[in-house]
Amino acid sequence: MLRTLLIGFGLTALAFTDPGMAAEKVHLSVDPSKTGAKIDRNIFGQFAEHLGHGIYEGIWVGPDSTIPNTRGIRSDVVAALRALKVPNVRWPGGCFADEYHWRKGLGPLDKRVVTINSNWGGVTEPNTFGTHEFMDFIDQIGSESYISVNVGSGTPQEAAEWLEYLTTNQPTALAKERAANGHPAPYKVGYLGIGNESWACGGNMTADYYLSQLKIYSRFVRNYNPAQEGKRQMLKIAVGPGDANTEWTENIMKAYRNREWSWDINGLSMHSYTVPKWPPSYASVGFGAAEYSRILHSTLQMENQVAKQSAVMDKYDPAKKVALVVDEWGAWYAPLPGTNPGFLVQQNSLRDAILASLNLNIFARHADRVHMANIAQMVNVLQAMIITDKEKMVLTPTYQVFKMYLPFQDATFVPVTFDAGTYTNDDIALPRLDAIAARDASGKLWLEITNLDPEQPTEIEAELAGIQVKSATGDSLTAPKVDSVNSFEAPNAVVPKPVSAKVQDGKLALKLEPKSVTVVALDQ
């Protein structure tokens, strides 16, 4: 099957059909002379909501915990996330954000106001992880803050005061309060989310109603940090569509085109989960090739979602000034038996690693419009990087993929041409292969290839136009089963292993294991 997303690139196919052959052979060509857009490091962003054990236990254990921590933030999780070079973290929600009142998360920990997390299990929210704790966490992991302000049940004034509290260096009452709470210097807020899913949990607003709110918040919620002037300014992200809703996008983008000087946005959010059935009913573990195929087929719809929304945005913003920000994506499965269904607890398997690579590749191919994405969610919730259980921590297969993709952060996209072939399971047909290439800041070329086929290996013969490759080395991630996971008992069941590729006559020969994700550097 010729992947539609490859239309526009010339294709050379070399399909071996001899049934006796162990591996399909695929010819792939990379043309480094034709470069594309920068793959913004922000597409590797994360999302941390006050939901289940996403924050409490996953990140925050409190300064008195026996779990090693720095000012209440667990050290093992920080070390793991530092290694991922997380570019930005979206917080405090999600649906939670539109009921969050920032003042409740200030002051001495034992005096914090306890509230109810009405969105997620109706449990108590201790508010011990508030503004200062989040900014400390961001600093500890070396990331940037993406703060989602409350449009649904808050006011523009509340949001404006939050941003003044965070960012001003003037001696205002709010700056003095921040200093009294332990942080005299202004914080940096990289990204501002103006509401969340305002068409649903964020207040069931019509697009017109939301637009009037957007204009007010965009005008009055200011960042005062002098270090964020000019190129370093805070980017404002409006609520965008969920999945296929282009009408919402039309409304916002049309208003953007006709906007007055007094308001602006830099991004439009899009939420698109891999959830073939609602409520989520697919199991996150204990499945075979059929469910593996169905989920991957469903995740590939991201290509259509992004293309559809981008087309509408192109109409009103041909200069591509407004980024499409896919700030909630990932697999959403049935809650694990025995867990609180409101906590969205699921396992994370090799299938999720492959799913992550397919989505990251889609974002990379749309790098001219998609400048940011946030997988849902960072720790213990949905498609997590990290799973904890009290003092124990394990890194998921999805974490491993994000680590393998580090060279693609801020690299320049390079087109790859290949015939993906087809893997079929019942009525589901999947491309057998996916691939992207990019050049990093040092000039090194990187190639990522995903073999979706759960049964057959693939032999790649890669040609690099105009350059002589001497060797290629990197890592490959696979495991015995499509639902193999990393557990506390066996944390290294799904971890990348080194691979190297032979180079003959300037061509690279690389064998890909079934159901694998491979990233190699091409040494010239």
Catalytic (active-site) positions: 197, 328
- 461: enclosing H helix or E strand: strand 458-464
CA atoms within 13 A on the CB side of 160: 11
What is the C-alpha separation between 156 and 507, in angstroms, rounded? 59
Q: Which residue number, 196 or 305, has a Cβ lying nearer to ligand AHR?
A: 196
Binding residue for ligand AHR, selected from 93, 186, 240, 496, defined by CB under 6 A: 93
What is the C-alpha separation between 463 and 446, in angstroms, rounded? 13
Does 398 interact with ligand AHR (rule: CB under 6 A)? Answer: no
Does 94 interact with ligand AHR (rule: CB under 6 A)? Answer: yes
Supply 364's token pair. 């990379």
Which range, of 24-32, 91-99, 132-140, 156-164, touches ligand AHR by CB under 6 A? 91-99
| Of 143, 137, 187, nearest in space to 165 by CA | 187
Supply 81's token pair. 């996330």
Residues 356-385 that bind ligand AHR (CB under 6 A): 376-377, 382
Burial of 208 (0-12, 13-18, 19+ CB in 10 A): exposed
What is the C-alpha separation between 499 and 429, in angstroms, rounded? 28
Does 327 interact with ligand AHR (rule: CB under 6 A)? Answer: no
- Tell me the closest approach of the beta carbon of residue 471 to ligand AHR, in angstroms: 42
The gap between the terminal CA atoms of the chain, to the nearest Å, is 32
Unique residue bearing structure tokens 């259509």: 304
The SS3 of residue 172 is coil
Binding mask 38-57 for ligand AHR (x = CB under 6 A): -----------x--------
- Tell me the closest approach of the beta carbon of residue 80 to ligand AHR, in angstroms: 21
Q: Which residue number, 374 or 484, has a Cβ lying nearer to ligand AHR?
A: 374
Q: Which residue number, 49 or 513, has a Cβ lying nearer to ligand AHR?
A: 49
Q: Which residue number, 94 or 397, has a Cβ lying nearer to ligand AHR?
A: 94
Binding residue for ligand AHR, selected from 95, 166, 322, 436, defined by CB under 6 A: 95
Which residues on adjacent β-strands are paired with residue 447? 437, 520
What is the dihedral sign for C-alpha 241, 242, 247, 248? negative
What is the C-alpha separation between 106 and 182, in angstroms, rounded? 11
Which range, of 93-101, 406-414, 474-482, 498-506, touches ligand AHR by CB under 6 A? 93-101
- Tell me the closest approach of the beta carbon of residue 429 to ligand AHR, in angstroms: 29
- Tell me the closest approach of the beta carbon of residue 119 to ligand AHR, in angstroms: 7
Q: How many CB atoms lie within 10 A of CB 247?
A: 11
Distances (CA, A) of 407 to 145, 198, 403, 448: 22, 35, 9, 10
Which range, of 29-37, 76-84, 92-100, 212-220, touches ligand AHR by CB under 6 A? 92-100
Q: Which residue number, 51 or 462, has a Cβ lying nearer to ligand AHR?
A: 51
Q: Which residue number, 327 or 513, has a Cβ lying nearer to ligand AHR?
A: 327
Does 328 interact with ligand AHR (rule: CB under 6 A)? Answer: yes
Which range, of 89-97, 124-132, 155-163, 434-442, touches ligand AHR by CB under 6 A? 89-97
Which range, of 87-95, 208-216, 309-317, 491-499, touches ligand AHR by CB under 6 A? 87-95
Residue 182 near residue 132, CB atoms below 8 Å: yes
Supply 28's token pair. 């792939």
Binding residue for ligand AHR, selected from 197, 303, 352, 434, defined by CB under 6 A: 197
Q: Which residue number, 95 or 207, has a Cβ lying nearer to ligand AHR?
A: 95
| Of 390, 407, 489, 486, nearest in space to 77 by CA | 390
Q: Which residue number, 197 or 291, has a Cβ lying nearer to ligand AHR?
A: 197
- Tell me the closest approach of the beta carbon of residue 218 to ligand AHR, in angstroms: 20
Q: How far is CA 114 from the centre of its chain?
A: 30
- Tell me the closest approach of the beta carbon of residue 278 to ligand AHR, in angstroms: 11
The residue with its CB nearest to ligand AHR is 94
Burial of 468 (0-12, 13-18, 19+ CB in 10 A): exposed
Residue ranges in contact with ligand AHR by CB under 6 A? 49, 93-95, 196-197, 328, 376-377, 382
